A = this chain, B = another copy of it.
Amino acid sequence: MTLRPLVRPPEDQPAFVLVEPQLADNIGFAARAMLNFGLTWMRLVNPRPEWPSERATATASGAALVLENATVYRSMTEALGDRQVVYATSARPRDLVKRVVTPRQAAAELRAHAAAGTRTAVLFGPERMGLINDDLAPVDAVITCPVNPDFSSLNLAQAVLLIGYEWFQAADETPATELRTGTAALASRAHLESYLLRLETELEECGFLRIPHMRPAMVRNIRALFGRMQLTDQEVRTLHGMLTELVTKRLSANSLEAPETEK
């Protein structure tokens, strides 16, 4: 009954243990959500659908490898036998004295355990009922996701997605915020300054800055506007080009000549 995994299990990952999942679709969606966050180690306890399942493979899309490596067990005890630390996802550990953690906290702890070489698992209950207290009693901690109390049901694949998401984020070093400029470099302040000086000269000449007592504030505001833009070199060149054309057009119009159409 127990299918052997095709590859060596990734011991630096928690095993995601689906307890008596009811629907093949959900097993596939869960596999997909796992792989989105680099998790490849699924265990199934008494899956209701026939296993392996073509339907699960279909909903897993490109994540079939997670299903192919999934191991099937007859009981939770058997599935967790080699684990040292076990977390269980549940909305409601009632009448149990139990440590309850957020997904984010669980992810941090799972990462710490993985770094220490400790073998971990995360339990996910059946779709309709979730895990019962007898399942929850022996686990190290329960993971409960803070949700809208008036609409709190997360489906199986969503729960897997959120735990997987936090697992991945816990070790991810993407900057929280970053200006992506592709191959373009940000403009040096000198490059920006040369544009701003030219802009002020042109605004002077065209009369935009004609009211002397307002001029300092207007210049300051224009500088604040361009100053916070984090312009690239290319963008400053584009602004120069726009200014050149706008001025040329104005001069042409003033001198009653036809505007230049060629550069």
Contact = CB atoms under 8 A, between A and B. Distances in A.
Given A35-B148, A36-B154, A94 B176 contact: no
Given A100-B177, A169-B104, A176-B101, A151 B232 contact: no
Given A62-B151, A148-B168, A99 B184 contact: no
A60 B261 CA distance: 56
Interface stretch (A15-23, A158-166, A203-211): A158-166
Interface string A216-248: 000000000000000010010000000000000
Nearest to A179: B99
A38 interface: yes
A98 B179 contact: yes
Interface string A80-96: 00000000000001111
Contacts of A148: 35-38, 168
A184 B98 CA distance: 11
Nearest to A154: B36
A180 B37 contact: no
A169 B96 CA distance: 25
- Contact residue range for chain A? 35 or more
A260 interface: no
B36 A152 contact: yes
Contact of A97 (B100, B152, B174, B180): B180
A97 B181 contact: yes
B169 A146 contact: yes
A33 interface: yes
A93 to B, nearest CB: 6
A131 to B, nearest CB: 15
A143 to B, nearest CB: 10
Contact of A146 (B100, B168, B180): B168
Interface string A180-213: 1110100000000000000000000000000000
Given A105-B176, A146-B168, A161-B158, A63 B98 contact: no
A215 B102 CA distance: 40
A63 to B, nearest CB: 7
Task: Please list the 8 inter-chain residue pairs (A to B) with the smallest Cβ-Cβ separation, ordered nearest first.
Answer: A105-B176, A38-B148, A146-B172, A146-B174, A35-B151, A101-B177, A100-B180, A97-B181
7 contacts: A36-B151, A36-B153, A94-B182, A100-B177, A101-B176, A102-B176, A146-B168
Given A97-B184, A97-B235, A158-B158, 6 more contacts: A36-B151, A97-B180, A97-B182, A102-B174, A145-B165, A146-B168
